[in-house]
Structure 1
Amino acid sequence: MLAGEMYMPWDAELTKDRIQAKEHCFQLNQTSPTQTIARQDIIRALFSMTDEAWIESPFHCDYGYNIRFGKGFYINHGCTLLDAALITFGDNCLLAPGVVISTAGHPLDATERASGLEFAKAITIGNDVWFGANVTVCPGVTIGNNVVIGAGSVVTKDLPSNTVCVGSPAKVIREIE
C-alpha cells in the first residue's frame, strides 16, 4: 500500500487500523472545543506524533499514522484526509472547511475495481500552503511552498511554489512575489 502498489483495503490488519483511527476521530468529534487538552491528547494519539495541531470538528481520516505535519498546522471544519499513503505537510499549512486530500485511488478497469483492489500515492505539501474551502487534492500530487489554492479547486497535478492556483483542474493564475 505504502509503495503505491495495488492492495486490498479489507485486509484484517488494515481494517483494524482504520477502526482505531475512526474511534479517535469519533472521540475528537464528540469532544467539546473548550476541552483543549483532551482534544490535543486525541490528536497526538491519532497521528502518533507529539507535535500540536488544531483540528476543528468534524474531521475524518483513514489511518492517521500516515499523516505528518509541521508547526502551525490548522484544519477547519469538515475536512477529510484519506491517508492510505503518506500525506506530508510543511509548516504553517491551513485547510479551510471541506478540504479533501486523498492518497487513495481505484483502478480504471471495472472488473479490477469491482474486486475491491485500490492503490495509494503519497501527497507532499510544502510550507505556507493555504487550501481554500472545498479544495480536493488527488493522489500523487506535490504542492510547493507558499501556494494558495482557490476554493473549489481540484488539484490533479503538481503545483509550483509561490503561486495562486484555481480551477478544476487547478492551474497557476498568478505568481506570488
Structure 2
Amino acid sequence: MTETTEFEKMANGEAFNAIDLDLRLRREAVRLACAKFNAHPSKGNLRHVTRLFAEFGSVVIEPGFQCDYGSQIHLGERVFINFQCIFLDSAKIHIGDDVLIGPGVHFYTVDHPRDADLRASGECFARPITIGNKVWIGGGAKILPGIKIGNNAIIAANTVVTRNVAENERYFGSSL
C-alpha cells in the first residue's frame, strides 16, 4: 500500500506538512507561472496561471496575482480579480459568478496550530472558502479559513472577515 502524500492530505482536508519537498516544489512552479504573467500581462501569459486552476469561466486577472497551488481554485463566470491579490489555496476556494474582487484582497485557506512545537514542525491545516454570486469584496480585505460569503454580499475595504457573511449582508468587520 502506498503512503498518502502531503499534497493528498492537504487536498483531502487533513493536517499536512507545508515544508514537504513536493509541496515546496509545487509552490515554486506556481510562483514561476504567476511571475510570467505578472511580468508581462497578456492573454497568452494569463494561460500560465489559468491552466493551474481546477475550473474557471470568463475571468479578468490584473497583474500581481499570486497563489500557492492553483489546483484548489474554482472561479465562476465574469469574475474580476484586481491588482495584487493573493489566493493561499491549500483548501478549495470557490468563487461564484459576477464577483468583483478589489485590489490587494487576500484569501487564506491555510492555518497553523496554536501549539508552538507543532507549528515549528511545519504542520498545517486548511479549510475551504466559498464566495457566492454577485459578491463585491473591497480592496485590502482578508478572508480567513473556512469563511462562506453569501450571494449579493458586500465586504468593506480593508476588512478582516472573521465569520460567515449572509446573503445580501454588508460586512464592515467585527470588533474583537
Q: Provide the TM-score with structure 1 as the length reference.
A: 0.88
Q: CA deviation at 1:6?
A: 1.5
Q: CA distance change for structure 1 residues 72 and 161 in 2, over 3 Å: closer, same or farther?
A: same
* Per-residue Cα deviation, 1:99-144 (whole angstroms, up to 9, x for no partner): 0101000001111111111110011110011110110000011111
* Per-residue Cα deviation, 1:44-74 (whole angstroms, up to 9, x for no partner): 2232546331111111100011000100111
- Equivalent residue in structure 2 for 1:65, among 71, 78, 83: 71
Q: CA deviation at 1:15?
A: 1.9
Q: Structure 2 CA distance, aligned partners of 1:116 and 1:93?
A: 34
* More displaced 10-residue stretch of structure 1: 133-142 or 39-48: 39-48
* More displaced 10-residue stretch of structure 1: 44-53 or 101-110: 44-53
- Provide the residue aligned with 1:164 in structure 2: 170
- Unmatched runs of 5 consecutive residues or more in structure 2: 1-9
- Unmatched runs of 5 consecutive residues or more in structure 1: 171-177
Q: Structure 2 CA distance, aligned partners of 1:165 and 1:51?
A: 26
- Provide the residue aligned with 2:116 in structure 1: 110
Q: How many residues end up aligned between the 2 structures?
A: 167
Using the aligned pairs only, state the percent identity: 39
Q: Structure 2 CA distance, aligned partners of 1:140 and 1:48?
A: 19
- Provide the residue aligned with 2:101 in structure 1: 95
Q: Provide the TM-score with structure 2 as the length reference.
A: 0.88
Instruction: Give the aligned residue type for 1:141.
Output: I
Q: CA distance change for structure 1 residues 50 and 76 in 2, over 3 Å: closer, same or farther?
A: closer
Q: Is the 8 A contact 2:76 2:98 kept in 1?
A: yes
